[in-house]
Amino acid sequence: MPTPTDNFASEASLTSSPLPREGGRGDGSQPSPQGALAHPLPREGGRGDGPHLGGNAHDGTRSVAIVGGGPAGMALALALKLHGVAVEIFEARTRPAVRDDARVLALSDGARQILDWLGVWSGLSPTPIETIHISHRGGFGRSCLRADELAVTALGWVLPARDLIAALDTAVANAGIAYRENVKVGAGDTAAFPLTAFAEGAVDPSAGKLRDYGQHAVLCSVSIAAPHRNVAFERFTNEGPVALLPLGDRYAVVLTCADEVAAQVRSLDDSAFLDLLQRRFGTRHRFTAAGPRTAYPLGLRYRKDPVAERQVWLGNAAQTLHPVAGQGFNLALRDIWELAQVLGGAADPGAPELLAAYARGRQADRRGAIGFTDLLLDSFASDLAPLKHARGAGLLALDLLPPLRDFVAKRMIYGARAWP
């Protein structure tokens, strides 16, 4: 099981070694990273039936309560710890249950920088993505994004979620951060804390906006006849996108399909599933074996305002996106970076002016990621001939115009910092 480095960075090191900006170190004035394929996380307060936490009105303590002890909650705890902010994590599940996570994560190189800053990256063994091949079935035009054109080692990294969770969990323990497992947090239970951060959970419909895509993602891993050479694929089809992410010597697959056929696709025997995947993807790879399959519904959910009185929502608790562009957990890490920057050194981490500053700082990145993902899906959803030709021309332009290609790649890696 991968473990992080045991040397947890001191508070002083934070000032001297801020998070790197695009392509290297910078002044740390903006967040930086991106990307993930993931099931929706538990609702606010976590899952399970552990005892409820009781609390009274804010008593002057400077600790931040983090609701959700999954990867986002633990990453937030480590980031705040680095900034000298005391934290406590509350998780409804047991710690072993949190580690038992079958997801595969696709992390941008920007996300790697944040995880390296948190001290958890060096013990991991992710598979690098050196090229991303983008195409649409039945139309001309394709584009390739390449790491060497951006002078980075990889555009992104793919690893099992359980590996990252184990590294974060070990780092949390080494840092002496309180982790209250099997404790379900209810309304008002954390009122004694100056700030409650909801790091996991679905967006409450009454607090945000929802869009049902009418699709499910079917996830599995597949073996291939030829090496993947660290190339990831995003293949748009009439039935929905197909993504292949290099993981070890196999591919992790995200096959999008309509709600009404999701159960059928998931239950196909291996041979029939491989035939379906081959038809949807095409001939650039030949698939030879498939692993067990899981499925989950896809939709867009986001809170209009990620803060309230002494409360803040981050990651999936603030926005849940379609996995097509791999923005989910990467956007969560940028949330975490920005919040830690804002709260560091504050006498009252729940002060309204601080939370308002955080919300303003995250606005462009949140809107950009949400809009980019939604527009990408709408742009490739129609089968009308004029739109198909326009998509092909767009992909061709992306491939022929290096400045445009670099901008798109940097937007996916670093978030809103790629905007002029």
Burial class (CB in 10 A: 0-12, 13-18, 19+), 137: middle
Query: What pLDDT sits at residue 238?
Result: 82
Give residue limits of the domains in the chain: 32-127+157-209+299-380
- Give residue-wise pLDDT tens across range 97-118: 999 998 899 998 889 999 999 9
Query: What pLDDT sits at residue 16?
Result: 32
Query: What pLDDT sits at residue 321?
Result: 72
- Give residue-wise pLDDT tens across range 343-388: 998 999 999 999 999 999 998 888 877 776 666 655 555 565 555 5
Query: What pLDDT sits at residue 150?
Result: 81
Spatial CB neighbours of 50, under 8 Å, sequence gap ≥ 6: 92, 93, 181, 182, 183, 184
Return the CATH number of 32-127+157-209+299-380, one of 3.60.15.10, 3.40.50.2000, 3.50.50.60, 3.30.70.100: 3.50.50.60
Query: What pLDDT sits at residue 13?
Result: 34
**Spans of the chain, pLDDT less than 70:** 1-62, 138-142, 322-326, 372-420
Q: State whether residue 153 is helix, strand or coil.
A: coil
Q: Give the closest residue to 111 by CA, choosing from 72, 80, 85.
A: 72
Query: What pLDDT sits at residue 36?
Result: 38
Give the pTM.
0.80
